[in-house]
Amino acid sequence: MSFQLSAPVPLSDNSESVLTKTIGESLKVEGDLSHVFEVDKTVDFIRSNGYKSVALQFPDEHLADAGRVASLISKQVDATVQVLADTNYGSCCVDEVAAEHMFADAIVHYGRACLSPTSRLPVLYVFGRLPIDANKIVTNLTEKFPLDSPILIVSDTRWYYCQDLIVQKMKEAGFKTIIASTLVKREEPDLELEACTTIPGRLFRLPENLTLADVSLVFVGPDSPTLTSILMSHYSVVKDFWSFDPIKGTITEESSFGGAKLRRRYALVQKCRDAGVIGIIVGTLGVSNYLNVLDRLRKIILNAGKKPYILAIGKLNPAKLANFQEIECFVLIACGENSLIDSRDFYRPIVTPFELMKALSSDTSWLNECVLSFDRVLSLTEEQESNTEKNDALHEESESPHFSLVTGKLVNSAPMRHVELSLDTDEDNTGKLNEDGSSAVEKRSKRDLTVNGVYSPAAAYLQSRSWTGLSSVPEDAAPSKLYQGQKGIAKGYVGEGDKGDKNDEKCSD
């Protein structure tokens, strides 16, 4: 299969670019920091639980305020307050691994959060109180929607504090049916909560006479991974999708963008279907059930006759993934807001666990679905495995070539197949032909591409490269002779200048 790059892959980086690089989005915090970052609430959290070491996790856009906030907290508590310098993965996830390296008893997470359930340390979420003009959003909604239109309000966590005020003003403006979502920060929500939520970390209840297809979803917040994840998972579910940017004060219809984004994801699914070697990237160490998803994806890839590789490389960039050129597609295990990677700048496509499941299933239909919850993916993969066990012909079908919608050709994407080779080849008969017409050299070359009788894609890729590393030394070769080398540094070895002076004297004579 072939891939086309939209731009050259940056395999190297200038160290000076770190000083000029802009990190994250710029959000200027105005007003009292104690009020914006809820210092009193944090102090009460530390005192009431008796924590002695607390880690403060700030996103990139709030790092400028991290020092002052940490100073305000440390003056009021008898505990060690430390600021995490950087996160291993996305800043929306709670970095329990980094906090454990600092021997922290608890974590205070600031800014936008995906609210993924954690399993190791207690967490306090401080979303912040960023400014918003509630009257302006109500005015814009009045111009766009009839007053009898049912509206579902979903807010970015950083503006969730003002959602009740927005709902109150909408009711005063005459809106009849307003459905407000609430945040769910429980690690294991009960069945009643699960039945009423389709957005990770949020809960809402629809009236009995309404479904999501009758509701207009309005997201309060700027363009962010939160908006992207909710748009992708609800574009084909709700009536229409709108967003209000509190920073710019503008309202946008997102429905037109959602269709194009979903079509692009479907193209990635087809590329993943054609891939024979798939890399599983571990993009989180804190979200619960990530190990179960990892194990399930590995089994699905093996059952499809493909080769899986497991990678843990921290934050993604094109340079890191370009080192694994034999891998034809990557699947990222991360929280819902970090799973949807725009891989146009990467050397290979990057899909979500749900998209990988669709690519390797016998059902190739695409219903504009986008599932980002680990629990939902696990349940779907269980159904897929049970169907595969019942239908033995499905495994044989996966090994046969299929028509690729990307290349327009037949593709055999099941490299992990058993190869029958006659290993009893005579080393002296390298020029003779065997009964099947192949020479002993061809037999040995095929045998080098197998591991325990199974075709190895990595060995095949290594053979196709022009340089395969240092050649092995034969056992009967003479030992290497040791001799004294040069001393000093590359700028000027010891005695190098003296030899040059003597040679100049000889030339002058």
pLDDT tens by residue, 419-459:
444 444 444 444 444 444 444 444 445 555 666 666 677 77
> What's the rounded Cα separation, in Å, for the pair 419 and 305?
13
Tokens of 92: 């929306």
Report the predicted TM-score, pTM, of the whole model to 2 decimal places.
0.73
What are the start-end ranges of the H helices in 90-187? 96-101, 134-144, 163-173
> What's the rounded Cα separation, in Å, for the pair 379 and 376?
5
- Residue identified by tokens 């959290």 is 45
What is the per-residue pLDDT for 478?
Answer: 81
Beta bridge partners of 455: 450
> What's the rounded Cα separation, in Å, for the pair 115 and 387?
33
Sequence spans of domains, the chain: 33-126, 134-253, 270-411
Q: Decide which of 3.30.70.20, 3.40.50.11850, 1.10.10.10, 3.30.465.10 is the CATH code for 134-253.
A: 3.40.50.11850
What is the per-residue pLDDT for 316?
Answer: 86
How do residues 167-189 score in pLDDT, each as one tens digit?
999 999 999 999 999 887 644 44
Please name which of 279, 266, 211 lies closest in space to residue 239, comparing C-alpha atoms.
Answer: 211
Please name which of 391, 385, 415 lies closest in space to residue 305, comparing C-alpha atoms.
Answer: 415
* Mean pLDDT lowest among 215-219, 229-233, 239-243, 478-482: 478-482
CB-based burial of residue 489 (10 Å sphere; 0-12 exposed, 13-18 middle, 19+ buried)?
exposed
> What's the rounded Cα separation, in Å, for the pair 269 and 313?
23
Q: Do domains 33-126 and 270-411 have the same CATH topology?
A: yes
> What's the rounded Cα separation, in Å, for the pair 275 and 326?
10
State the greatest distance between any 2 C-alpha atoms of the chain, in Å, as a whole number.
107
CATH architecture of 33-126: 3-Layer(aba) Sandwich (3.40)
How do residues 69-120 score in pLDDT, each as one tens digit?
999 999 999 999 999 877 778 888 888 888 988 899 999 999 889 888 777 8
Tokens of 330: 């990557």
How do residues 341-360 score in pLDDT, each as one tens digit?
887 888 899 999 988 988 88
> What's the rounded Cα separation, in Å, for the pair 248 and 362?
46
Tokens of 507: 């030339």
Mean per-residue pLDDT for 151-177? 92
Work out whether the CA dihedral 384, 389, 390, 393 comes out positive or negative: positive
Work out whether the CA dihedral 43, 44, 46, 50 comes out positive or negative: positive
Binning pLDDT at 50, 70 and 90, where does residue 484 land? confident
CA distances (Å), 202 to each of 8, 199, 319, 347, 411, in order? Answer: 40, 6, 36, 35, 42
49, pLDDT greater than 50: yes
Using CA atoms of 16, 17, 23, 28 in order, give the dihedral in degrees to the nearest 10.
70
CA distances (Å), 26 to each of 29, 64, 220, 258, in order? Answer: 10, 10, 18, 25
User: Please, are residues 446 and 459 in contact by the beta-carbon 8 Å criterion?
Assistant: no
CB neighbour list of residue 318: distance below 8 Å, 6 or more residues apart:
9, 10, 345, 346, 347
Tell me how crowded residue 357 is: count the other CB atoms within 10 A of its CB. 22
How do residues 29-48 score in pLDDT, each as one tens digit?
666 888 889 999 999 999 99
> What's the rounded Cα separation, in Å, for the pair 385 and 366?
19
Angle at 74 between CA 71 and CA 75, to 5 degrees: 85
Tell me how crowded residue 5 is: count the other CB atoms within 10 A of its CB. 11
How do residues 261-305 score in pLDDT, each as one tens digit?
778 888 888 888 888 899 999 988 877 788 889 999 999 898 888
Q: Decide which of 1.10.600.10, 3.20.20.150, 3.60.20.10, 3.40.50.11860 is the CATH code for 270-411.
A: 3.40.50.11860
Q: Helices 255-274 & 225-234, crossing angle to 10 degrees?
A: 80
> What's the rounded Cα separation, in Å, for the pair 365 and 368?
9
Let me know how many helices (H) and strands (E) the chain has, helices first.
Answer: 19, 21
